């Protein structure tokens, strides 16, 4: 159980300050003159694709030990779609995908490229997106940007290109003591050259080697003269290996151990006396962006839709025509952009999907029978797709005894791992927090989510955001006297009757105050007997 009493007077005094700060952040009020003194450090470490049920004393001993020194969040959530770049933005902005502007790993944005799908974290795409949006490609400031605006230093070091979404505005001539490294790249050629001269070139193939290289850059180079107020380390494992094999495979378990070894190096660096014993003032968050599943069936929707008479493509060879469908595969979720928003084509597409054997939950831009609106998943934004479909899932076990099987798009084969559905195994991810602001050896069973990391980290660092954030401060796990908001849950349903049967879908949602968390969703077409 989470204790409610403070242990000492110092704790109570801090709790009063923190309670005021927490409420100010939850309400989006900025009051810099009232912020507490600057003395804290936060290290955020992401294990890409780590399932919470795979944390073990055998495969992740360092993380296991850290969990017992801090708080384990047993009911933590990804945002939907449960994909890397979507959650990469949610983690560092504190808002849902519809507000951050990143609603999928791959999107169709004709203002950037009207012929094909774009990778949202591609450097050229991000640069063009910022150019046409006035620097608002990611619509809200990130943690790193807010920390630097407060006059402190930051380091973002990611083994994947997702890091570009987390710090796009670093100016190496102005922010000389901060750094942003993503997949072996930096905006400053001079700084990158000095990193490469010490570590060698960024590894080309091995996920574990990329992680190790990035970890060394963080602790040996960027932390050489001191740890900044905020550091983010994003590891590509076990995601990379689980995609190539499956959760629970021998290779995937070795990838978890590799990530654990990198965590051990970071913790050892914080322990070094040369860094001034920073563990006493440093909160550490280890989180995953999403969970993971195993593909039971790979569905070639391109072929299926064409066979049903739809003009569905994954790339336009000429100027797009009204009624054509741009099919955008994102693993466990597919996005459908109907050119011209043709209502007849959209309705026929939705009814076709509802009667298929692979659809799980369907969201639509416009209200339709048997669907949920895009806002139910918090993915509604300007330029959003006309239809979004999460594939169906079940609780069966894979070849390694790990539960969670899904249908997925054509880009990976059956038996391999992927994610991005509304399966509970994709939507529930890992969070462990430890440090002076967190309770010791406890479990938090309240719903929490990736959108809560930004408000919680800003509260620890004494920084407020002028924006109203969707996430909440995780006060119940901290040494505070702040009141935890009311909690509730609901299951929403939608159905569509056909002459041949009935389509039904459901979505389970948890609420803590005004923050919502999607637990799971699924659906099925039941033919008439």
Give residue-wise pLDDT tens across range 180-225: 999 999 988 999 999 999 999 999 989 999 999 999 999 999 999 8
- Tokens (6 digits) for 334: 């597919």
**ω into residue 41 within 30 of 0, thus cis?**
no
User: How many CA atoms within 13 Å lie on the side-chain side of 173?
Assistant: 0
Cα gap 448→471, rounded to integer Å: 9
CA angle, corner 68, sides to 62 and 71, nearest 5?
110
Kindly state the average pLDDT of the residues 120-147. 96
Say what the pLDDT of residue 175 is.
Answer: 84
Say what the pLDDT of residue 277 is.
Answer: 64
Say what the pLDDT of residue 35 is.
Answer: 37
Q: Under a CB-based contact definition with an 8 Å cutoff, are residues 388 and 336 in contact?
A: yes
Say what the pLDDT of residue 272 is.
Answer: 81
Instruction: Answer whether CATH 3.40.720.10 is correct for domain 9-102+138-291+428-477.
Output: yes
Q: Where in the chain is the domain with CATH 3.40.720.10?
A: 9-102+138-291+428-477
Q: Backbone dihedral region of 403: left (phi > 0), alpha (psi from -120 to 50 degrees) or beta?
A: beta
**pLDDT tens, residue by residue, 314-338:** 999 999 999 999 999 999 999 999 9
Q: Within its chain, how far is the Cα of 525 from the centroid?
A: 30
Say what the pLDDT of residue 39 is.
Answer: 67
Cβ neighbourhood burial of 10 (10 Å; 0-12, 13-18, 19+): exposed
- In 3D, which of 162, 169, 112, 161 has the Cα closest to residue 136? 169
**pLDDT tens, residue by residue, 330-376:** 999 999 999 999 999 999 999 999 999 999 999 999 999 999 999 99
Which residues, in sequence order, are CB contacts of 502 under 8 Å at separation 6+? 495, 496, 525, 526, 528
Which residues, in sequence order, are CB contacts of 151 under 8 Å at separation 6+? none
Q: Is the pLDDT of residue 34 over 60?
A: no
Say what the pLDDT of residue 482 is.
Answer: 84
Q: Is the pLDDT of residue 4 over 80?
A: no
Which residues, in sequence order, are CB contacts of 135 under 8 Å at separation 6+? 168, 169
- Tokens (6 digits) for 159: 């083994």
N-to-C CA span, the chain:
49
Quote the DSSP letter at residue 230.
Answer: E
Cα gap 4→134, rounded to integer Å: 46
**pLDDT tens, residue by residue, 46-102:** 999 999 999 999 999 999 999 999 999 999 999 999 999 999 999 999 999 999 999
Cα gap 104→127, rounded to integer Å: 18
Q: What is the DSSP string of 293-360?
A: EEEEEEE-HHHHHHHTT--EESB-SSS--TT-EEEEE-SSEEEEEEGGG-HHHHHHHHHHHHTSSSEE
Kindly state the average pLDDT of the residues 95-111. 98
Mean of pLDDT over the chain: 91
Say what the pLDDT of residue 21 is.
Answer: 39
Cα gap 520→529, rounded to integer Å: 28
């Amino acid at each position: 159980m989470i204790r409610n009493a403070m242990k000492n007077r110092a704790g109570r005094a801090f709790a009063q300050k923190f309670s005021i700060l927490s409420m100010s952040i939850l309400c989006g009020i900025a009051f810099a003159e009232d912020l507490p003194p600057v003395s804290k450090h936060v290290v955020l470490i992401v294990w890409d694709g780590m399932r919470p049920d795979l944390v073990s004393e055998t495969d992740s001993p360092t993380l296991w030990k850290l969990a017992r020194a801090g708080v384990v969040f047993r009911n933590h959530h990804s945002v939907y779609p449960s994909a890397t770049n979507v959650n990469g933005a949610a983690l560092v902005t504190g808002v849902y995908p519809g507000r951050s502007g990143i609603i999928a790993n791959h999107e169709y944005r004709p203002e950037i490229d009207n012929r094909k799908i774009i990778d949202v974290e591609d450097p050229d795409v991000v640069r063009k997106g910022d150019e046409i949006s006035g620097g608002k490609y990611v619509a809200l400031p990130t943690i790193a940007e807010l920390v630097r605006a407060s006059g402190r230093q930051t380091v973002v070091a990611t083994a994947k290109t997702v890091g570009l979404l987390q710090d796009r505005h670093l100016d190496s001539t102005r922010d000389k003591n901060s750094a942003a490294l993503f997949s072996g790249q930096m905006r400053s050629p001079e700084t990158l050259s000095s990193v490469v001269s010490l570590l060698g070139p960024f590894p080309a193939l091995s996920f574990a080697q990329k992680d190790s290289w990035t970890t060394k850059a963080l602790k040996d180079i960027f932390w050489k003269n001191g740890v900044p107020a905020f550091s983010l380390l994003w590891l590509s494992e076990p995601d990379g290996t689980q995609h190539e094999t499956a959760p629970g495979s021998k290779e995937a378990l070795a990838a978890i151990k590799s990530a654990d070894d990198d965590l051990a190096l970071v913790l050892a660096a914080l322990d070094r006396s040369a860094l001034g014993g920073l563990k006493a003032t440093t909160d550490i968050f280890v989180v995953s962006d999403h969970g993971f599943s195993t593909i039971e069936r790979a569905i070639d929707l391109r072929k299926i839709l064409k066979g049903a008479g739809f003009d569905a493509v994954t790339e336009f060879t000429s100027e797009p025509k009204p009624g054509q469908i741009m099919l955008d595969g994102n693993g466990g979720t597919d996005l459908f952009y109907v050119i011209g928003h043709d209502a007849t084509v959209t309705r026929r597409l939705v009814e076709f999907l509802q009667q298929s054997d692979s659809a799980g939950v369907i969201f639509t831009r416009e209200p339709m029978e048997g669907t949920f609106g895009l806002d139910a998943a918090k993915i509604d934004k300007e330029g959003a797709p006309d239809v979004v479909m999460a594939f169906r899932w079940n609780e069966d076990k894979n070849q390694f005894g790990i539960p969670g099987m899904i249908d997925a798009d054509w880009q990976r084969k059956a038996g391999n791992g992927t994610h991005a559905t509304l399966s509970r195994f994709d939507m529930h991810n890992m969070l462990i927090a430890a440090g002076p602001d967190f309770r010791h050896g406890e479990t938090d069973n309240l719903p929490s989510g990736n959108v809560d990391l930004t408000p919680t980290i800003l509260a620890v660092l004494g920084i407020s955001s002028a924006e109203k954030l969707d996430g909440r401060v995780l006060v119940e796990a901290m040494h505070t006297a702040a009141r935890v908001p009311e909690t509730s849950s609901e299951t929403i349903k939608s159905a569509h009757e056909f002459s041949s049967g009935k389509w039904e879908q459901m979505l389970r949602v948890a609420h803590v105050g005004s923050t919502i968390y999607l637990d799971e969703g699924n659906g099925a077409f039941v033919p008439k007997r």
